[in-house]
Chain A
Amino acid sequence: AQSVTQLGSHVSVSEGALVLLRCNYSSSVPPYLFWYVQYPNQGLQLLLKYTSAATLVKGINGFEAEFKKSETSFHLTKPSAHMSDAAEYFCAVSRSGSARQLTFGSGTQLTVLP
């Protein structure tokens, strides 16, 4: 069964610093991978997705993620944090089968310090 591990339930960075949010997955077949962002009192919004094309995926708001099969990782990065990036971030992996099901990680709360 697929699983997702997000290392660090809380991450703090200074404004302008690099953002690195870690995601590792386990899957018996090459999966599709996703990063979602949740702003306070809102639903989840798709940041970016990997669907077996380019391994470096660019998303919205300057975020990108790299799929590394050998490390079973899909870490999310942004070169320079902005105050508006403060939110909770979820990594998700597709499940095998045709039911379009996702398995979500437990989330990482990103705090951006002035």
Chain B
Amino acid sequence: EAQVTQNPRYLITVTGKKLTVTCSQNMNHEYMSWYRQDPGLGLRQIYYSMNVEVTDKGDVPEGYKVSRKEKRNFPLILESPSPNQTSLYFCASSFATGWEQYFGPGTRLTVT
């Protein structure tokens, strides 16, 4: 089944404790992206990647890191999480020539 998977789905952590949210897709998509969803703000892009080893900042990259060492994986790293990073996070992917993005199920992160 074609899909985007994220792990974990739920995470509660404390301020300053480094964490990684994994994202994997099995559709051979070149493009991958991370968004955060906050009430009343819709989805805002954190980082995106056009292909392996090619990443760029989105609209709200502060406090986040990403890497793209393999085509299928695009982990999101929070090296020192803060409470304002409490949010619902989505990974998405698409072909480089297309606009339809496929979304993962989301990761709900709480930073206390």
Contact B42 A107 (CB under 8 A): yes
Q: Is the CB of A100 within 8 A of B105?
A: no
- Give which listed residue, A44, A105, A106, A107, contacts B90 with CB less than 8 A: A44
A100 and B42 contacting across the interface, CB-CB below 8 Å: no
A24 at the interface (CB under 8 A from B): no
The chain B residue sitting closest to A9, CB to CB, is: B40
Q: Which residue of A lies closest to B98 (CB)?
A: A100
CA distance A41 to B96 in the complex (A): 28
Alpha-carbon distance between A9 and B39 when the two chains are bound, in angstroms: 10
Q: Are the CB atoms of A90 and B42 closer together than 8 Å? A: yes
B103 at the interface (CB under 8 A from A): yes
CB distance from A31 to the nearest CB of B (A): 10
**Residue on A nearest B103 in the bound complex, by CB:** A43
Name the CB-closest residue of B to A34. Answer: B99
CB-CB contacts below 8 Å: B68-112 with A: 90, 92, 94, 96, 99-101, 103-106
Q: Does B50 contact A (CB under 8 A)?
A: yes
Report whether B100 and A100 are in contact in the complex, using a CB–CB cutoff of 8 Å.
no
Q: Is A7 an interface residue (CB 8 A)?
A: no
Of all chain A residues, the one with the shortest Cβ separation from B40 is A106
B31 at interface, CB cutoff 8 A: yes
Are A100 and B104 interface neighbours, CB within 8 A?
no
> Given contacts A100-B94, A101-B58, is CB(A32)–CB(B99) below 8 Å?
yes
